[in-house]
Structure 1
Amino acid sequence: MPNLNRGAYTPLGNDEFYGEDDISLVTNPTTRAVNEEEIHNNNFGGSSTNTSERKFVSFAEKVSRTETKKLMKGIPRDAFSLARIMFLLMGSGVLVPGICYQLAVDWFNLIFPSRGDSDSFNFIDFLEYILSLGFNIGQLAAILLYTIFMWRKSVHTLKAQTFTVEQFIFMGYALNFVCVMVTLFINMVLVLQYGFNNKDDTYDKIFMLVCIVVLNCLVGVGSGVLSSAVISFAANFTWKYTVFFLVGLSLGNAVLSIFRLFSRLIWYDTAQGLFNSIILFFSFSAIIQVICIIAFIYLLRLPITKYCKEHYVNMQTPTRDLDEQIRISRLEKDMIMEQKMKEEADNVSFKSSESNELPTASTVGAINNGGEGEETEDNTQTELTEKPQETEDSNINELSMTWISLMKRLWSPGLGIFVTFLTTFSLAPGLITDIKFYHDSKVSWNPIVTLSIFNVFDCIGRALPNWKRTILLTHKQLWVLILLRLGFIPTVIFCVNPLLITQPIWYAIILALFGLTNGYCCSIGMASGPSIVKAVQQEKAAYMMSFFLNFGLFVGSAVGIGVGYLVHFAF
């Protein structure tokens, strides 16, 4: 019997449903072409390869290639990449509301002025860190509740919870829209009631400041639900759709930063100018939420989306483990053959009883057992018909892995995502906004410039895996880059206090590399998670990877507050 171990053959085929230009995350295209040629010669008697050097092709691989060809013929084409564009638009609106609060810190410092000394702790001085931490607390709480709820529902069925996921996506965008509009209303009330020059601390101002912090946490809840729900929904597709969603996350931040930059140039650094910028800023964020809802509705109507939702469970590619399916199919065939042989034996015994008029085994059993023979035969027939159902139920239990067994497969890419965002959010957006590109009258430009550089290059880094010339690392090779990124922590600290790096050009280079590596590690890490498990487990893998991401955001934000305090007050 041939060896059906998963490591006995090299996965073939594209990562995309169609097209010849897609590059696998783990397979070199040149090696894949050589393997295809050698296997073709082996199967069809080609003479270009020596018989002693021919590679063994398992039965699972042959079945996989045949079934994949049949599957690819019926898959609708993503015309003009509309599905990818919709994922890109949906990603652009997930983190935009949270970035609104962080980029509006200069306005909050104006309307809620600091009263403390430079050497003492003041709430307003750490408002940027607090907003970042509150946003990530909301995200982490949402992802935990969402994962627990969806995990328990998916244990009882292998079908994708598309309807429930759709509801969560709509609720997430709606919650963000409401929070942004309420924050916009609060700022308008503050200006109408107190004006721009009133710096008195009143209970009304304190209450409104607390409301803004709470709304920021609620936006984190909405963003956490969206990030988990959309990533799990994208798991129905191939890994490139997940990458497009991740690119959209960073694209929204980059566009928002550039938009804030130009708004400052138009209205200058005045109280009225800051207020006009914030009004336009939050209004633009609300419009993005509406665009995301429209994009998701349109995505649900695309033929490729309908197909992927209907064929989620049955969609098996050569990179998946088919050995278990083949074993189960063989068991089912054996049971069917056994049932047919039993029926033939019953027919033969029935014919012999008619010709010889002798009691058969069933009638003898009926006489000896008081008429229980027919019931025994019926029970035997029932057992034979129920065996395939028991096999199917056991298959469902095997494929519905517990979170512990799934964690054993995802610990490497998941921990890599955690360390990546722990490193990033221990420095951004808190400490990097303290880097002094400008001094004196232009000091308020520093947070806008630093965040703009970081967000733009973060977007470029997330888009790199879609470029054909990019070197794509596996989740194990990615650990080298993840560990090297830890060196940014002392480097950025030396740009603030103690001030060892003083040239603005070095600030720009450090921030560009910091954002570029963060985007690249995020895209490769998040796409690698669902790609190393079976198709029916990809949705759960997406939940797990989203949890690692948000947990890294939360821990990184908490560490960022401690790092900021040490840098400003300990040195």
Structure 2
Amino acid sequence: MGVSGETHDGDSESSQLLTTQPNKIPKDSFHLAYIIYFTLGAGYLCPWNAFITAVDYFTYLYPDVNVDRIFSVVYMLVGLVCLLVIVLYAHVSDAYIRINLGLALFVVALVVVPLMDLFYIKGQTGLYSGFYVTVGATALSGFGDALVQGGIVGSAGEMPERYMQATVAGTAASGVLVSFLRIFTKAVYSQDSEGLRKSANLYFAVSIVVMIICIIFYNLAPRLPVIKYYKDLKIQAVIEEKEEKGSLTGPVWRSTLWDIVGRVKWYGFGILLIYVVTLSIFPGYVTEDVHSETLKDWYPILLITGYNVFDLIGKSLTAVILFENSKVAIGGCVARLLFYPLFYGCLHGPEFFRTEIPVTVLTCLLGLTNGYLTSVLMILAPKVVPLQHAETAGIVIVLFLVVGLAAGSVVAWFWVI
């Protein structure tokens, strides 16, 4: 269901191709294509979630370094540089190869850490050669993320809206999975060195299983008639463009790329703003700044779970109602700046605002708005360019998203509510 307040550029080129001969569009039998995109969306965030959720164990092993910040900087910096390169060469590289390579790198990065712990570290503290290997594995995951996330979002951009919605909802499902794993490990394992070690190995084991499922699903996807249909449409659009403009090389490609960036820049700005606001408040604020006498150390875990569940609800809502007015969506992104004074009030305002209920409600609202607005903008952006450039538009949007994540993380360092 769509609610439109304006005529969309995307209703032109790409949408016309997508709706040609609608009777011939194959059905997504058993919603298999939807399930594949949902699983891939969940999959490409699993490695990062494994590293960052096991940060308690890594902090215990390497007490003299700021583990979570080093992980964040390395992962995002590598991902950002790789995405820039991918954007520049998207027109001459094969998404199928990029995604498979990225998934393979994920598996390598995820296997290295538990194997090193099993055969070398064995729970001992201060073996900093192990830390350097772990940081290397984090960098490898950042490289894999750029290849996989750029490719999957780009690929979903070539399909109808529901497949981008599936991908984005999958990313939220990854956060929910990690939150429930965190609750499970805290409830079942002791919070000493051995318990932290078991928890970390569980996160990595689950992520490895998810990666293997993603590899199988992604390589099955091209055989599905509905995915093959839209791939053929893209090939047809590429051939037509080549006949009209010639080969997209050098100045022609740069001109085309700038046109794509120009068309999606406001969607990208909205995405960037969403993640600057979110990352500067979450998770730092909810894990470090608020406290509960009743819930004690369960409080931040439950707040993070609440955020992730509502993020998933927001990203799933676009399957039911999608506001196709991009100006309203981008306005909503700007309106989220109001979370700053609201969260400030939870620390320094009247006593009632400093209790669990207002903090929990605000955290869930932060997640809900993050999820819904992200999903809306990610769905709409690739539809404002011709079908043959939808993949590149998707990668450009991911680039804005990663810049937003990085900027939000930096703001969180320097800005204390």
- Indicate whether 1:144 and 2:84 are aligned: yes
Match of 1:486 among 331, 337, 347: 337
Is the CA contact (8 Å cut-off) linking 1:454 and 1:512 kept in structure 2?
A: yes
Per the alignment, residue 49 of structure 1 pairs with none
Match of 2:308 in 1: 455
CA deviation after TM superposition for structure 1 residue 442, in Å: 4.5
How far has the Cα of 1:512 moved from its partner? 0.4
Residue type at the aligned position of 2:62 = F
Deviation at 1:211, TM superposition (A): 2.6
* Residue 418 of structure 1 pairs with residue 368 of structure 2: no
Distance 1:277 1:257 in 2: 12
TM-score scaled by length of structure 1: 0.65
TM-score, normalising length: structure 2? 0.87
Looking at structure 2, the residues matched to 305 and 25 of structure 1 have their Cα atoms a distance apart, in angstroms, of 26
Question: What is the rounded CA distance, in whole Å, between the counterparts of 1:264 and 1:442 in structure 2?
Answer: 13
Distance 1:488 1:395, change over 3 A: same
State the partner residue of 2:105: 175
Structure-2 separation of matches of 1:68 and 1:139:
31
From the superposition, tell whether residues 527 and 176 of structure 1 become closer, same or farther in structure 2 (CA, over 3 Å).
same
Q: State the Cα deviation string for residues 33-56 of structure 1 (Å, max 9, x = none).
A: xxxxxxxxxxxxxxxxxxxxxxxx
Q: CA RMSD in A?
A: 3.2
Q: Does 1:248 align with 2:170?
A: yes
Confirm or deny: 8 A CA contact 1:139 1:224 kept in the other structure: yes
Q: Amino acid of the residue matched to residue 374 of structure 2?
A: C
Deviates further, 521-530 or 100-109: 100-109
Q: Is residue 72 from structure 1 mapped to residue 30 from structure 2 by the alignment?
A: no
CA apart distance, 1:215? 2.0
Residues 134-213 of structure 1 aligned to structure 2 (within 5 Å): 134-151=74-91, 153=92, 164-189=94-119, 192=122, 194=124, 202=126, 205-213=127-135
Stretches of structure 1 lacking an aligned partner (at least 5 in a row):
1-22, 32-60, 115-122, 154-160, 317-324, 329-388
Instruction: Say whether the 8 Å CA contact 1:453–1:511 is kept in structure 2.
Output: yes
| 1:560 match | 412
Distance 1:131 1:461, change over 3 A: same
The 1-side partners of 2:408 and 2:261 are apart by: 22
Percent identical among aligned pairs is 25
The match for 2:390 among 521, 538, 552 is: 538
Larger Rg: 1
Q: CA deviation at 1:447?
A: 4.4
1:91 aligns with 2:41: yes
Q: Residue 284 of structure 2 aligns to a residue in which SS?
A: coil
In 2, Cα distance between equivalents of 1:254 and 1:288: 14
Cα deviation digits, residues 8-63 of structure 1 (max 9, x gap): xxxxxxxxxxxxxxx236369xx9xxxxxxxxxxxxxxxxxxxxxxxxxxxxx9xx
Richer in helix (by share):
2
Equivalent residues of 1:478, 1:521 under 8 A apart: yes
Residue 409 (structure 1) aligned to one of 263, 266, 269: 263
Matched, 1:109 2:59: yes
Instruction: Measure the CA separation in 2 of the matches of 1:441 and 1:395.
Output: 62
Distance 1:71 1:139, change over 3 A: same
Structure 2 residue 2 is the aligned partner of structure 1 residue 24? yes
CA distance in 1, matches of 2:197, 2:325: 47
The residue number in structure 2 matching 1:512 is 364
Distance apart, 1:285 and its partner CA = 0.7
Tell me whether 393-402 or 127-136 shows the greater mean CA deviation.
Answer: 393-402
Aligned in 2, Cα 1:69/1:510: closer, same or farther, shift over 3 Å? closer
What is the Cα deviation at residue 111 of structure 1? 2.7
Pick closer, same or farther for the CA change 1:137–1:129 going to 2, 3 Å. same
Asked if the contact 2:2/2:324 (under 8 Å) is kept, the reply is no
Using the alignment, how far apart are the partners of 2:3 and 2:247 within structure 1?
Answer: 29
In structure 2, what is the Cα distance between the partners aligned to 1:137 and 1:474?
33
Structure 2 match to 1:296: 218
SS of the equivalent of 1:521 reads helix
Q: 2: distance between equivalents of 1:68 and 1:553?
A: 32
Give the counterpart letter for 1:475 in structure 2.
S
Mark the CA change 1:557 to 1:85 in structure 2 (over 3 Å): closer, same or farther: same
Is 2:69 the partner of 1:129?
A: yes
Read off the aligned partner of 2:209 and give its amino acid letter. I
Counterpart code for 1:146: I
